[in-house]
Chains A and B, each alone.
Chain A
């Protein structure tokens, strides 16, 4: 662990971030966030989409590829901390920047509690006293303590070092590759896969539910963009690390889901609660195991499972803890950035006098996370609330409750990123893009040659459909998600009105000067030269156009 703090220079100056993140470091930042998702997502998707879990992962994976390509292009063109919130703020204006940022904040707060929850689920495989199903109060108390602990560490400025992130990520990539390699090598049976898919194909409703949950296995690519300002040669490195992360996660998700549906387990699967035999996917998707499905699957791999059973719970728990911590760090950082852009009140900029960390933001968003934990755990803690949830929320609780909200937040923020990308392609063609999404249509917009991104439209439709699936299939996501956005927008409007800022319109921004500064600080001097040349050519064309009619 290392001690870091957001050091503030003179009032009004941006804190300067050192460019120390290498290509592997950038990948590790993203992987420690996204890589943890499959530990949570696999069990949830198997529980919902049954024999079509691989199809659910494929659909969500294709959308995720589009999302990843969009983030890659934007993070390489605008290498600043802030990620999706900044792209939307720049592309669509202040109010949409706020909404996207607010949706990302929802995701980050759920990130904190969901991964802390799952971290304890994985540890419960080593310490059964922590199991949620048998000891809900203990589980609740430990998850709560984890959240409080992470908040405290973030306030005093202690977080995992990049080197620690890199080591854990490296170990996990090797571990997951080994699990899949030995799993396919010794236990995969295509006939079991075909049989499971044909006999356990879910209803359309459950498939939509599965797809909407599968997207949570791909959330967190944001972290690479978040660390863009600290990455060496971001315009060159980020496209590679992003694409590699997309491919790695996609390979893992598709491989895990197919293995879970077509694997001959090394040990017999226990009977279910009613004494009936159950398939592997049912066992992994059950309430007992859906929080730690990767660990259970790994332990059933022939030969290698004996080793995996010993270390995967611990490795998974560490990765999940890092991911939970990235939620604490990310939420405070986004809130800080939004506050600086006058999208949130200045209280979110307040830093602790001693530790120089955004303590207020950390406390507020960890408080939200604790509240979400309470809502998720209530039905297990009280019979009365169990009845209430059964009546109003289809009995959704625990990790499913959190998964619902996570899917909503991710789908909402990703939708805006696609729109921002289209807007920036049309309105800011001068910014050099070292990486561009494929399939672009050249066209003229406001007298300038631009390229319209077809993949962004496909991605928007894909993520839009997942958002609709989430709204249709998740009672909690349908109510709590939009409520979060609505409350946020109301607060935003009140804040802007009270401060005398434009309520629906944007405040004036000098994007050209900002882009020059961004590229200069990124050390992308060749891109900066290209940007200056583009701007000059653009201005010359505009001047010629105004003179030519006369």
Chain B
């Protein structure tokens, strides 16, 4: 047998007071003031988020960024940045800028297809582009400027001996003149360079 249960105004007020007091107390407890170290960490996170609006991965004959693609994709996914993979073909001065360079263009398609596959696997949207330029470094810098890039990702082999530009001349020039952050990854000694997928040009969608 159950008795009558009718809310009383004072009871309702007290019920709400208990609920509000407990909620407010726990909320206050779980939001302590931050320390200087925590503030610095938070600012760094904000800067990183702002910084990574767009990320460009550069490939060329001299710049082997294949092993950096997966990392660039992860960064882009986590920071929700736009990702662009560009292969830059260096056209000699003896040829017109729009000259056909079939072998290298075919190679570029393979590299970019691999980059696209990596990005697709991780569910990241990527745009790819093949560019012809007189100098790889200038082409990369122009591209970065055109896309207002926040980070350029470059990959290099580890050179066994000092050659004046151990990372390669193009990488040195880009990192020296770029107006955005440059992330250079040097292939580890035991690593195997990713080979571009052998894809027929007609299978590649842009």
List the interface of chain A (C-beta within 8 A of B): 23-24, 27, 173, 177, 180-190, 233, 236-237, 240-241, 243-244, 247-248, 251, 255, 258, 264-268, 302-303, 526
Contact = CB atoms under 8 A, between A and B. Distances in A.
Given A247-B21, A302-B2, A188 B8 contact: yes
A447 to B, nearest CB: 33
A244 B6 CA distance: 32
A184 B15 contact: yes
Contact of B12 (A24, A184, A236): A184
A240 B27 CA distance: 10
Interface residues of B, number: 26
Interface in B1-58: 1-8, 10-12, 14-15, 18-19, 21-22, 25-26, 28-30, 32-33, 35-36
Dominant secondary structure of chain A at its interface with chain B: helix
A189 B8 contact: yes
A186 B19 contact: no
B4 A190 contact: no
Contact of B5 (A243, A244, A258, A303): A303
B22 A248 contact: yes
A348 to B, nearest CB: 35
Given A186-B5, A187-B11, A267-B3, A181 B19 contact: yes
A330 B174 CA distance: 62
A526 B36 contact: yes
A56 to B, nearest CB: 19
Nearest to B11: A188
Given A240-B29, A244-B29, A185 B7 contact: yes
A23 B30 contact: yes
Contact of A266 (B5, B11, B21, B29): B5
Contact of B32 (A184, A233, A247, A264): A233
Contacts of A251: 18, 21-22, 25
Contacts of A258: 14
6 contacts: A27-B29, A173-B22, A185-B11, A189-B11, A190-B10, A264-B4
B35 A247 contact: no
Interface of B: 1-8, 10-12, 14-15, 18-19, 21-22, 25-26, 28-30, 32-33, 35-36
Nearest to B18: A180
Contacts of B25: 244, 247-248, 251
Contacts of B1: 267-268
Nearest to B36: A526
A101 B15 CA distance: 40
A189 B8 CA distance: 7
Contacts of A24: 29-30
Nearest to A301: B5
Contact of B26 (A173, A187, A188, A237): A173
B3 A268 contact: yes
Nearest to B29: A244
A266 B5 CA distance: 7
Closest 6 CB pairs of A and B: A188-B11, A302-B5, A244-B29, A184-B15, A185-B15, A184-B14
B18 A266 contact: no
Nearest to A434: B33
